[in-house]
Amino acid sequence: MRLPWRRLLAALCLATATAVVPTAASAASAPSSGWNDFSCRPSAQHPRPVVLVHGTFANGTDNWLAFAPYLEARGYCVFSFDYGMLPGESLIGGLGPIAGSAQQLSDFTDRVLAATHAAKVDIVGHSQGGMMPRYYLKFLGGAAKVNALVGLAPDNHGTTLDGLTALLPYFPDASGFLQASLPGLADQIAGSSFQQQLNAGGDTVPGVHYTVISTIYDEVVTPYTTQALSGPDVHNVVLQNLCPVDVSEHVTIGLTDRIAFHEAANALDPAHATRTTCLSAFS
């Protein structure tokens, strides 16, 4: 899809603002408790702590260097953790079996709830981190402990990687190698046994509010339309319907895109939501 030069110029300005323009809230003094501070106590305005779940090939720090302070400056208790690390690995996560990663999320959520004395948490996840919590909600009792799940470019129904997964049958035992060595990747392939189990019987569970924020420029979770969920309490949104010149792709939607951040913040606090537009990059 080619953009006219005026839209490209606007997109460049928008991307610059998204990355570097501070908000009034972030310029103000930060709350006394915040990101991974287990002494943080949720406020009456934001009574639920937010658990951030990173994506594949990422970790609980680097994935959230922009979004965690964004929420913290708005008065949230914010927490993140590492999951899916293979043996001997301490930096790159999301590669272990996703069911096991969901158990790690369950354990971490229990720790957050015990520390903050909150009744429930909200979860925001990027990529695998937006999909994996659905296993926790559906099979590990998470629905009783989670108010909302917000997914930034989540691979809710797996991915074809722009059709590359269709080539796997032509490489002897490639699928077996992935499952044995990188099960977190194998589980994310569209049509995998994990995806079939996850999505059997419906995408959602009662009592949880779901939001999916996607971008048409996603080159990792493809087709991007498969990110959307079906269910009675689901809000699916595409960034370009909020801001046509937003050119964020799979990585930047979770790392730097303040328009996506604004829409995620709306999902966390719908009672005080404000319209998300291109100007949200400056707010």
DSSP 34-84: -TT-TT----SSS-S-EEEE--TTB-TTGGGTTHHHHHHTTT--EEEE---
> Structural domain of residue 72, as residue ranges?
45-282
In a domain, 34, yes or no: no
Tell me the mean pLDDT per 10 residues along the chain, length 283: 41 40 36 76 97 97 97 97 93 96 98 98 98 98 98 96 52 58 91 96 98 97 97 96 98 97 98 97 92
26 domain residue, yes or no: no
- What are the residues facing 213 on neighbouring strands? 152, 237
**Residue 150 in domain:** yes
Sign of CA dihedral 77, 83, 87, 90: negative
Distances, alpha carbon 65 to alpha carbons 86, 89, 150, 210, 254, in Å: 23, 21, 18, 24, 10
Residue 246: which CATH number? 3.40.50.1820
Backbone phi and psi for residue 149, each to the nearest 5 degrees, phi listed first = -120, 120
247 in a structural domain: yes
Contact criterion met (CB below 8 Å) for 125 and 133: yes
* pTM for the predicted model, two decimal places: 0.86
The number of distinct structural domains making up the chain is: 1
What are the beta bridge partners of residue 126? 152
8 domain-assigned: no
Strand order in 121-126's β-sheet? Answer: 78-81, 50-53, 121-126, 146-152, 209-214, 234-238
For residue 132, what are the contacts with CB-CB under 8 A and spacing of at least 6? 53, 83, 98, 101, 102, 105, 125
Question: How much is the pLDDT for 89?
Answer: 87
In a domain, 7, yes or no: no
Question: Residue 92: inside a domain, yes or no?
Answer: yes
124-144 per-residue burial string, b: 16 or more CB within 10 A, e: under 16: bbbbbbbbbbbbbbbbbebbe
The answer to the question of residue 11 being in a domain is no
